Amino acid sequence: MTDPRELRREDFDDLSTATTRWSDNDMLGHLNNAVYLELFDTAINAWMVRETGIDERVAPEQGVVAQSTVRYFSEVSFPGTVDVAVRVARTGRTSVVLEAALFLPGSEDVVAHCEWVQVYIGRESRRPTPIPAAALAVFDRCLATRAPRDATS
């Protein structure tokens, strides 16, 4: 994998802004590490719901996170907003790997990076199941858009 710090906003499929909260800061005066994961989780889920149109509370398949890796490069503190970027990294038969990055407003420095492995399971079976068509179409479209750039690297 490329060093995540080389990523820029334009490398991603989605960008949203989140506000921080007073309670996000820990005793050391910066965002608690679990808050980063809340922010990545929020950006990923909001994008997924909007793009795929899938309501996981009723859909026959659910996407559950199997692994999340967060790398913390610099500190962020309340007050202020953060930009959260999301992109599709790759797909498997029953899972997708997403990446997310956190930027401060007006900066292209990656503050933190998340690799997020999501597995689809049957609502009833609780066993892995192929990525639903509506989601796969979104992932494929994102990967196709980025392919030419990746091909040159």
Which spans of this chain sit near its own copies (rule: CB under 8 A)? 17-23, 25-29, 32-35, 37-39, 41-42, 45-46, 49-50, 56-57, 62, 64-72, 75, 78-79
In the bound complex, what is the minimum distance in angstroms from residue 139's beta carbon to its own copies? 19
Buried-exposed string 3-13: b where 16+ CB fall within 10 A, e elsewhere: ebeebeeeebb
Comparing CB distances to its own copies, the nearer of 34 and 145 is: 34
What does the alpha-carbon distance between residue 30 and residue 60 come to, in Å, rounded to a whole number?
Answer: 40
Comparing CB distances to its own copies, the nearer of 66 and 137 is: 66
3 state DSSP class of 68: strand
In the bound complex, what is the minimum distance in angstroms from residue 10's beta carbon to its own copies? 22
What does the alpha-carbon distance between residue 71 and residue 81 come to, in Å, rounded to a whole number?
Answer: 19
Comparing CB distances to its own copies, the nearer of 87 and 113 is: 113
